[in-house]
């Protein structure tokens, strides 16, 4: 699916009026009408345009005017045997520096939901290559230090912080990791101090999980997940316009989609993430890791939240959202 390239609407509406209108305009035909209206309206304000490009897994590149923000950037996509059902926890960490540099150049901020390999592996290199600041858990902080990242570039957070970056603000939300079929997860645990330099994927523990809500100045509020669980009560009042939602690979979490859509107050747009195969090249069409799970998730969103538009993303395609 191609990106929405809307000019910003000039109709004078408050954020909540606009959201209510969007909700009222449920259904493809009505949304098409809204798009047409938005596209024909002249752009009168000079707020920077924000584009959101999916990097696979739960990774995003967000360009807001001249600022670039990354979320869980993992471009190296090395083989762990996951796709063949022969997952090897001793797989060595390798960074595809050419690919990483190509897709992350100019970054100033990197948000890391948790420190598993498919979220964190490329982050130390990005920090070194771009000078970007890395925002993540205390475990992420210590792992980054183990790779030699300067502490001046590391911002340890717990959840609850609201960080101001000028053209955008980031609210850090305490969250939870996905559950596997054993109600557990790969590589649980923490790092309270910098360990030896990690060499394999098993050297990168989960270290607690965060979500982030990015509020673009005069633009959309966008909720980013990197794993498929959440603390229901901690989402109250976030009411994002757009939610990048991790697709669960099991049913261990009760009523995941239903509770999440309710807690986020039925966002106008949901973009499923963390459903590709994590390891094949970053080329469209996207290969789904668990296609049945993606389909189930999309069906559930449409049942629970019929006014929500679900956009199944393509790699490296700049999306914009009103």
Cα torsion angle, 216, 219, 221, 224, sign: negative
Neighbours of 197 (CB within 10 A): 12
The CB-of-215 to Zn ion minimum distance in angstroms stands at 25
- CA separation for the pair 143, 132 (Å, rounded): 16
The CB-of-209 to Zn ion minimum distance in angstroms stands at 7
Yes or no: say if 61 and 315 are a contact pair by the CB < 8 Å rule.
no
The CB-of-125 to Zn ion minimum distance in angstroms stands at 18
Q: Toward Zn ion, which CB reaches closer, 116 or 125? A: 116
Q: Toward Zn ion, which CB reaches closer, 118 or 203? A: 118
Q: Which residue is nearest to Zn ion (CB)?
A: 116
Instruction: Please give the C-alpha separations between residue 133 and each of 32, 165, 319, in angstroms, as whole numbers.
Output: 39, 11, 24
From the list 35, 38, 32, 28, the residue with the least C-alpha distance to 306 is 28
Residues counted in the chain? 322
Query: At a CB cut-off of 8 Å and minimum separation 6, what does 238 contact?
Result: 171, 173, 213, 221, 223, 264, 265
Q: Toward Zn ion, which CB reaches closer, 224 or 321? A: 224
Q: Toward Zn ion, which CB reaches closer, 27 or 188? A: 188
Yes or no: say if 192 and 98 are a contact pair by the CB < 8 Å rule.
no
The CB-of-322 to Zn ion minimum distance in angstroms stands at 29
The CB-of-6 to Zn ion minimum distance in angstroms stands at 31
Enumerate binding residues for Zn ion (CB under 5 A): 116, 118
The CB-of-266 to Zn ion minimum distance in angstroms stands at 25
Instruction: Please give the C-alpha separations between residue 144 and each of 119, 128, 147, 196, 198, in angstroms, as whole numbers.
Output: 12, 10, 5, 11, 10
Yes or no: say if 185 and 177 are a contact pair by the CB < 8 Å rule.
yes
End-to-end, the C-alpha distance of the chain in Å comes to 17
Q: Toward Zn ion, which CB reaches closer, 9 or 118? A: 118
Q: Toward Zn ion, which CB reaches closer, 56 or 267? A: 56
From the list 217, 132, 110, 130, the residue with the least C-alpha distance to 166 is 217
The CB-of-8 to Zn ion minimum distance in angstroms stands at 33
Q: Toward Zn ion, which CB reaches closer, 118 or 215? A: 118
- CA separation for the pair 74, 58 (Å, rounded): 8
The CB-of-113 to Zn ion minimum distance in angstroms stands at 8
- CA separation for the pair 194, 210 (Å, rounded): 20
The CB-of-57 to Zn ion minimum distance in angstroms stands at 6
Q: Toward Zn ion, which CB reaches closer, 50 or 172? A: 172
Q: Toward Zn ion, which CB reaches closer, 205 or 220? A: 205
């Amino acid at each position: 699916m191609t990106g929405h390239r809307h000019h910003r609407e000039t109709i004078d509406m408050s954020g909540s009026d606009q959201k209510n209108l969007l909700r009222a305009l449920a259904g493809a035909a009505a949304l098409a009408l809204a798009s047409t209206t938005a596209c024909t309206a002249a752009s009168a304000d000079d707020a920077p345009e924000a584009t959101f490009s999916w990097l696979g897994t739960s990774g995003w590149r967000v360009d807001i005017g001249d600022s670039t923000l990354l979320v869980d950037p993992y471009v190296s996509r090395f083989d762990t045997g996951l796709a063949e059902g022969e997952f090897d926890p001793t797989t060595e960490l390798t960074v595809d520096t050419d690919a990483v540099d190509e897709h992350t150049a100019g970054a100033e901020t990197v948000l890391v939901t948790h420190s598993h390999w498919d979220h964190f592996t490329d982050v130390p290199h990005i920090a070194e290559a771009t000078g970007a600041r890395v925002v993540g858990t205390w475990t992420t902080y210590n792992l980054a230090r183990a790779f030699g990242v300067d502490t001046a570039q590391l911002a340890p957070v717990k959840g609850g912080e609201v960080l101001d970056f000028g053209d955008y603000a980031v609210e850090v939300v305490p969250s939870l990791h996905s559950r596997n079929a054993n109600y557990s997860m790969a590589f649980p645990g923490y790092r309270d101090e910098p360990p030896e330099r990690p060499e394999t994927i098993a050297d990168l523990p989960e270290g607690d999980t965060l979500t982030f809500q990015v509020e673009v100045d005069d633009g959309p509020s966008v909720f980013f997940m990197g794993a498929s669980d959440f603390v229901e009560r901690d989402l109250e009042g976030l009411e994002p316009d757009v939610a990048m939602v991790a697709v669960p690979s099991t049913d261990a979490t009760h009523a995941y989609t239903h509770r999440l859509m309710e807690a986020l107050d039925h966002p106008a747009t949901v973009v499923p993430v963390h459903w590709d195969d994590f390891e094949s090249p970053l080329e469209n069409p996207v290969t789904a890791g668990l296609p049945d799970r993606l389909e189930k998730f999309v069906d559930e969103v449409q049942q629970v939240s019929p006014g929500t538009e679900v956009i199944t993303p393509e790699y490296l395609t700049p999306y914009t959202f009103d």
